[in-house]
Amino acid sequence: MLKPFFLGASLTLSLIAGCGSAPVKMADPATRNTTFPEYVTTPRIMIVGDSISAGPGCYKKHLKANLTNAGITNYQFVGSYSDDCGGNVMHSAVSCSTTANFLDHEFSLPNCFADKKFAGITKLMQDNKPDMVMLQLGVNDVWGGSTSVSYVTDNYTKLVKKMRAQNPHVVIVVAQIHKIITDNCDNMGSYRNAEMLVQAVPAWARANSTQQSPIYVADLWTNSDPKQAPDCVHPGEAGAERMGLNWFNALKPLLQ
């Protein structure tokens, strides 16, 4: 098993391989990026998430700015939706969505969008052909504080299987979601449920990662602050900037 490596207190990024697997044989790291197969010259990155990724808050523009400032430009954000936050980042995040929604071929959210259909993960993979998926789902699953952690992680597993069915070499970076307190900062049940989900993610990743399709874990929880969100859920500008930095720290070693 490859041991996790850590990138400071604010974010943990772990490459978690399956038990008993041999080291991956790749080209010299000095000559090429070894995160992706050799045929990938410009990695295509797709963000899959809910309103935290779709906006408001818009961590995506901060992520892109951090990558640019670090001189990391050999990548392409892909997705089915255009960004409306000023960062010009394509994505496949849908407000109000849950892990279960993306398991369907397509889904609707009548409470949030009238007469509109959204593609599930299989079609998103087919349409956008990502080499990497940033998976940031779970907030709406734990919103009421009653959904079990195993339900969410089981859906993560199903999503990963569907991703790999379309791209056996897909690299997955799954977020440990940020701290939330729903119902206008009053429902601590949602906080506790979110915390339990966050604690379960590393073990889930270890169980589902493979050398061919590794899973990395990005810690968005540790340094997040619900008070940086007007409703204790959706980050304001300061929270979005912090989240963008956390995602940057996660992606930097994978894209260099």
For position 60, which CATH number holds? 3.40.50.1110
Q: Could you tell me if residue 13 is inside a domain?
A: yes
pLDDT at 32 over 60: no
- pLDDT-based confidence at residue 57 (cuts at 50, 70, 90): low
Question: How confident is the model over 113-158, as pLDDT tens digits?
Answer: 988 999 999 999 999 999 999 999 999 999 877 789 999 999 999 9
Q: Is residue 193 part of a domain?
A: yes
- Cα–Cα dist 178/243, whole Å: 8
**Which long-range CB contacts under 8 A does 112-119 form with residues at least 24 apart?**
118/94, 119/80, 119/92
Burial of 176 (0-12, 13-18, 19+ CB in 10 A): buried
Tell me, yes or no, whether 178 lies in a domain.
yes
DSSP 8-state code for residue 226? G
Tokens 């990155």 sit on residue: 45
For residues 33 and 255, the answer to whether their CB atoms sit within 8 Å is yes
86/95 Cα distance (integer angstroms)? 18
Question: Which residues pair with residue 219 across a beta bridge?
Answer: 176
Is residue 120 assigned to a domain?
Answer: yes
* pTM for the predicted model, two decimal places: 0.87
Buried b (16+ CB within 10 A) or exposed e, 213-222: bbbbbbbbbe
Per the structure, the complete domain to which residue 131 belongs is given by 5-19+41-255
Query: Across all residues in the chain, what is the average pLDDT?
Result: 87
Per-residue pLDDT, 56: 67
Question: Considering the domain boundaries, does residue 33 fall inside one?
Answer: no
The verdict on residue 29 lying in a domain is no
User: Is 225 inside any structural domain?
Assistant: yes
**Would you say residue 26 has pLDDT above 60?**
no
Whether residue 88 is predicted with pLDDT greater than 90 in this model: the reply is: no
Q: How many domains does the chain have?
A: 1
Q: Give a three-class secondary structure readout of 78-138.
A: ECCECCCCCCCCCECCCCCCCCCHHHCCEEECCCCCCCCEEECHHHHHHHHCCCEEEEECC
Residue with tokens 């392409």: 76
pLDDT band at residue 206 using 50, 70 and 90 as cut-offs: very high
Does the pLDDT of residue 211 top 80, yes or no? yes
**Could you tell me the two tokens for 228?**
């940086």
Angle between helix 188-208 and helix 149-166 axes, rounded to 10 deg: 40
Whether residue 31 lies inside any domain: the answer is no
